[in-house]
Amino acid sequence: MAQLQEVSVDKFKHLVSERALTGETMLLNMGPQHPSTHGVLRLLLELDGETVVNCIPDIGYLHTGIEKNMEAKTYLKAEVMSDRLDYMNNLGNNLAYCMAVEKLVELDVPERAQAIRVILAELERINSHLVWLAAFGLDLAAMSVFLYCFREREIILDIKELISGQRMMTTYIRPGGLWRDVPVEFETAVRAFLKMFPKRVDEYEALMTRNPIFLDRLVGIGILDAATALQHGVTGPMLRASGVNWDLRKVRPYTGYEQYDFNVPVRSEGDTYARYIVRIEEMRESLKIIEQALNKLPLGPVRSDNRKFVPPPRSELGVSMEALIHHFKLWTEGFPAPDGSVYQAVESPRGELGVLLAGDGGAKPRRCHWRTPSFDNLSVLPKIVKGHLVADLVAILAAVDIVLGDIDR
């Protein structure tokens, strides 16, 4: 059993102020086992009473080695690891990885699959924002909001189970398209959600947006200016809440987003309240995109017919020996990818999610590296919490919306 050891403050002298070395301020560990750190995150706090003087994030407690694991697998088998990064954005992770593979090997994707990918990516955005809002409300003692958000999230998980058989780790989006077409009940289920959800968002806002206690906890707290956000590589709702209109779905459209009419919510205040408003509005905009994609959902295949990279459909396996052999070889040996590297980014619920994929002519990636938004967004935390109370730190960290699986990869 590990023995407890006393650690001298000298070990942290390069991280804290001179006041900490003289005992004028106090060092306090927040985490890694703390409900308000949203995962196994440790924050080393230097406090003057209850005021934060310094905040040093300490990550690595959830390190999984996913990137190196992916490099040890074929391109098809590696995809299952992507689900485990940002576990609130499984389908978005699948999308980023599959688009990188498709870019590397120049693989086409049918129009129907593109449209379904957009629908699922936006449902996943709403799903992620619901979990964020639930935890955010809980951190601020709004228990009712937590229960309401998980009530709606269950509907989205039911839709994911309908199409894939899984509620979270679906691996439904595949290189060249989708695992299979959506069932006939899919459109009915999604349209029912579109009809119901706007009223539920109104309920959340009725409880929180104009609540005097909520406003006191958020307005003017944790202000992040645009220049600092850009210096730290902050993306997503955090960046847009600081007045920077940057959304990859608009500035670098992918998978057909240029076909859809939607607004990018932007606020200029840069505080915790602005981040809340941006995410609320993003859920409403996602509903618009989903409805448009459903209305123009084309008929046709959902997987590329390029058999060099895409396994044959299950319907052929029982009647064609060639198809069975081809299926077996693709899943056991994989397909070779050219010697070269590509970078593909998507707009995840937390910001820019990018995949750097490098091939060497073999069936496994030579390099697989993820650019995850939670890592960069967390880096700005020390600057926006200084001078605030510990209670404010809880609200500020919650509004950053980190996922530790996204960071400790």
Percent of the chain with pLDDT over 90: 73
Smallest CA-to-CA distance from 279 within 204, 188, 376, 365 is with 204
* Res 9 pLDDT > 80: no
pLDDT digits (tens, 9 = 90+) for 164-197: 999 889 999 999 999 999 999 999 999 999 999 9
Peptide bond into 349 cis (omega under 30): no
What is the spatial distance between Cα 361 and Cα 340, in angstroms, rounded to a whole number? Answer: 8
Tokens of 405: 């699986």
The 8-class DSSP code of residue 312 comes to P
Residue type, 221: I
**What average pLDDT does range 113-125 have in this prediction?**
97
What is the residue-averaged pLDDT of the chain? 91
Residue 24's pLDDT is 85
Q: Beta-carbon neighbour count of residue 300 at 10 Å?
A: 11
Within 219-311, residue ranges assigned H as helices are 226-231, 237-240, 248-251, 272-295
* Res 29 pLDDT > 80: yes
Check if the beta carbon of residue 362 is closer than 8 Å to that of residue 336: yes
pTM, rounded to two decimals: 0.93
What is the spatial distance between Cα 108 and Cα 106, in angstroms, rounded to a whole number? Answer: 7
pLDDT digits (tens, 9 = 90+) for 194-232: 999 999 999 999 999 999 999 999 999 999 999 999 999
What is the spatial distance between Cα 21 and Cα 309, in angstroms, rounded to a whole number? Answer: 60
Residue 32's pLDDT is 81
> Got the DSSP string for 41-87?
-EEEEEEETTEEEEEEEE--TT---HHHHHHTS-HHHHHHHHTTSST
**What average pLDDT does range 106-118 have in this prediction?**
96
Residue ranges of the domains in the chain?
Answer: 75-305
- At 342, phi and psi to the nearest 5? -135, 155
* Res 121 pLDDT > 70: yes
Tokens of 334: 């994989």
**What average pLDDT does range 244-263 have in this prediction?**
95
* 404, 405, 407, 408 alpha-carbon torsion, rounded to 10°: 100
Tell me which CATH code domain 75-305 carries: 1.10.645.10
Residue 22's pLDDT is 78
Peptide bond into 32 cis (omega under 30): yes
Check if the beta carbon of residue 17 is closer than 8 Å to that of residue 9: no
What is the spatial distance between Cα 47 and Cα 80, in angstroms, rounded to a whole number? Answer: 43
**pLDDT band, residue 317 (cuts 50/70/90):** confident
Length of the chain: 409
Tokens of 233: 């590589």
